[in-house]
Amino acid sequence: MSEQYVLGLHEVEEMQVAVVGGKGAHLGALSRIDGVRVPAGFCVTTDAFRRIMAEAPSIDGRLDQLSRLNPDDREAIRALSAEIRRTIEGIAIPGDLAAAISRALARLGEQAAYAVRSSATAEDLPTASFAGQQDTYLNVMGPAAILQHVSRCWASLFTERAVTYRLRSGIDHRKVRMAVVVQQMVFPDAAGILFTADPVTGNRKVASVEASFGLGEALVSGLVNPDAFKVRDGEVVAKAVAAKQRAIHALPAGGTQEVAIDPQRQEQPALTDAQVVRLARLGRRIETHFGRPQDIEWCLADDGFQIVQSRPITTLFPIPESGDRKNHVYVSVGHQQMMTDPMKPLGLSFWQLTTPAPMAEAGGRLFVDVTQRLASPASRAGLLEALGRSDPLTGDALQTILERDGFIRPLPDEGPPGPLFGGAPAPIETDPAIVTELIGRSQASIAASERDIRTKSGEALLDFIQADIQELKRILFDPQSNQVFMSAMEAAWWLNDQLQAWLGEKNAADTLTQSVPHNVTSEMGLALLDVADVIRPHPDVVAFLHHVEDEGFLDELAKLSGGREARDAIEAWLEKYGMRCVGEIDITRPRWSERPSTLVPVILGNIKNFEPGAGPRRFEQGRQEAWAMEQDVLERLRALPDGERKSEEAKQMIDRVRTFIGYREYPKYGMVSRYFVYKQALLKEAERLVQAHVLREKEDIFYLRFPELRDVTRTNHVDDQLICRRKDAFRSYQALPPPRVLTSDGEVITGAYRRDDVPAGALAGLPVSAGVIEGRARVILDMAQADLEAGDILVTAYTDPSWTPLFVAITGLVTEVGGLMTHGAVIAREYGLPAVVGVVDATRLIPDGQRIRVHGTDGYVEILP
């Protein structure tokens, strides 16, 4: 096929990104939409770029060097990328290529002024915008100047920021190519940006317009504060007119210049309201064509709008599909489960099979539709109370929606049956034997599942798992099991409320629940201290562990002095806890048994930070503190009027909470244990499918839903394209922070703490474990990177049970997500760590290494000088 160096915009198809780049493909599509005006022009294709790169073989070696650089090594990136740009700009454009560009210019008019714009193949994609990465040159005149600026656009593929962005995103420099768009200049009275969805709240029904005088560069480069308009249902609903002191105008001889705006004009709006509404309508037409919200660059000349760019808005959180056009309100499951990362399709599918509440899906996360419960007065109060207690930000967000006129239509009073998150438990006697029996039944059931699954493969395996999930659900939602931990939670709340009312004791239950029996998650953290005790006396083993890089290290240990004992201790720990991992509710996540190297830094931290015997000592110390608190509280109660009765009631509640609260962690442990049984069997099946050349790699099953996987085992056929699309989608979801509350308009409702007891400058959160602690903040987003010193305070996005081994080394905890009864809170109380959760943006607002004070009783964090 002969190379095609130039294509007119009107010839470009929307799917030709590989030929004309993202910008070129979008402009081609825009120029075909009825009623949309696009300045005339052409694209210099990626064939031309390939030809130029072939003229300089030396670039190849430099690209190799570039791909090996660390994205944070700015000096090296700057030097190497500048060298590549100089080389590209120095290549003479071959005669036939220059002639093709000149012919296209002659057709449009050689003496006209042009914009010369970069259009990379990895630009303006639905999953990555790359906005502002490459260069645009305005008001370029004459064929020679245009050829020179085409060269500069090619070179701009290697600007420092473009290279860094690709390195961070894991995109191969060789796979990205550069096309160039050459368009006739528009000399506008005003220009700016139109978002067809509100970029701040995500509301798809609100368009947002920014406008300034002159060329749009003034706005894009941050030279001026633009006028801002919001449009909803064909009218301007909000408007802020800025003082626009400067503008960028084109010069008659080429190029642009900054000019001062006449003082009388500075505060005049750049657009009339009627023009804003007309522009928003045009935006809706463009959005309908592309099928998703757009970020559009526009110019206004002689009262006519011309569109010079349209790209998808990549920062919006997707909306769950409801199948109707009614208003819906969705609450995040991840914020309740302390796992806000996206899940792969198989993980989502398993979670949906396991849980009885119907769940909507968006952005790789699950949501519960609470619209009907909010609409019915019968269920509304209970929902707001339960969610508000566990996560005040979610509760406040729902209250905000209820206060809006007409978003939720009230239902008659009967409402849908059943609570959403638990409910009032039936009474139960405080008997430790109940917990022992529940745990025994769960363990026996898992052992039977593990035994029976071994003989299954193919479709029979999927049938077995589907049936076994019914058994998992029976155990998970056993009424007695629910009674045990719900009555423990109710007892904790009772103690907090009553002891504050009677004695002025704030959050008394926090100390009273330290070191309770049967807490499988807190025992796990202490048991890893015991593993450190086995390893500490053997210097060869400790030295070896400092250099562990792969998963085969357990076999290597046996060759060292003391290594066999070390290996046995780690393996015994993994036997009991190896099915856990970060994000464990997603079955596709690698478990500790699969990646034991993840634990090595934690074990080494325990060896460094603790004396032998720390595990039992910690547990006993917590037990003594709880006992002392109990004696103190009961004695003070007896001294009150009607003291004997109060003391007796409190004693009953303390016994109940200490007997039952440890079990709170067990049902999830049982579920995750069973998930691991399923996962091992499914990976064995996936191995068979790889050998039969059905799958490329066994992890591909993670991108299929459960019914799709069953079809694959039945037909021995898989849709490779589907798996590729799902992998791309998953990557894009990783960049999106999930909302606590989302509406069917796409609006993210954040919620706020309505409190006046938080000092100025402090960060508000939810108090979940009492006490005040000062120390160095360690901001850790990946448990494997944790390097903690004794006395540090852990600051992170969320902690699920897998973070517990770090809790033994810290003195306090701050998280962005969490509630009173989520795992991090339960374990923090049991270990006696002051903790504040639900601190919005904590990992961004608290610098790593900063001294902070955590007020675990009052629920805020102070950043200290």
Catalytic residue annotation:
823
What is the DSSP-derived secondary structure letter of residue 304? E
Q: Would you call 267 helix, strand, or coil by DSSP?
A: coil
CB 733 within 8 A of CB 789: no
Identify whether the C-beta of residue 47 lies closer than 8 Å to the C-beta of residue 7.
no
Q: Please give the structure tokens belonging to residue 306.
A: 């011309």
Contact present, 854 and 812 (Cβ < 8 Å): yes
Six token digits for residue 675: 């998930």
Give the orientation angle of helix 614-638 with respect to helix 520-535, to 10 degrees: 140
Cβ count within 10 A of residue 389: 16
Contacts of 780 (CB under 8 A, 6+ apart): 786, 788, 794, 795, 796, 806
- In the chain, the largest separation of any two C-alpha atoms, in whole Å, equals 102
Structure tokens at 547: 């250099």
Strand partners, 117: 136, 181
Helix (H) or strand (E) holding 181: strand 178-184
- The answer to whether residues 259 and 249 touch, using CB atoms and an 8 Å cutoff, is yes
Q: Give yes or no for a contact between 332 and 340, defined as CB atoms under 8 angstroms apart.
A: yes
Give the CA count within 13 Å in the CB-facing half-sphere of 227: 21
Per-residue burial over 211-227, b if 16 or more Cβ lie within 10 Å, else e, is bbbbbbbbbbeebbebb
Closest CA to 215 of 183, 250, 182: 250
Could you give the 3-state DSSP secondary structure of residue 409?
coil
Structure tokens at 813: 């905890």
Rounded Cα–Cα distance for residues 81 and 77 (Å): 6
Q: How far apart are CA 347 and CA 364, in angstroms?
A: 10
Both tokens of residue 663?
A: 């079990």
How far is the C-alpha of 462 from the C-alpha of 464, rounded, in Å? 5
Closest by CA to 753, choosing from 770, 740, 771, is 740
Residues 6+ positions from 707 with CB-CB distance below 8 Å:
349
Which stretches within 477-504 are classed as H helix?
479-503
With b for 16 or more beta-carbon neighbours within 10 A and e for fewer, the 314-337 pattern comes to bebbbbbeeeeeebbbbbbbbbbb
Which two structure tokens, joined as six digits, stand for 51? 């030809």
DSSP, collapsed to helix, strand or coil, labels residue 120 as strand
* Contact of 355 with 308, CB cutoff 8 Å: no
Question: What tokens does 275 get?
Answer: 């023009």
Taking the C-alpha atoms of residue 119 and residue 28, their distance in angstroms, rounded to an integer, is 12
Q: Count of CB atoms within 10 A of residue 434's CB? A: 18
* DSSP one-letter code for 804: H
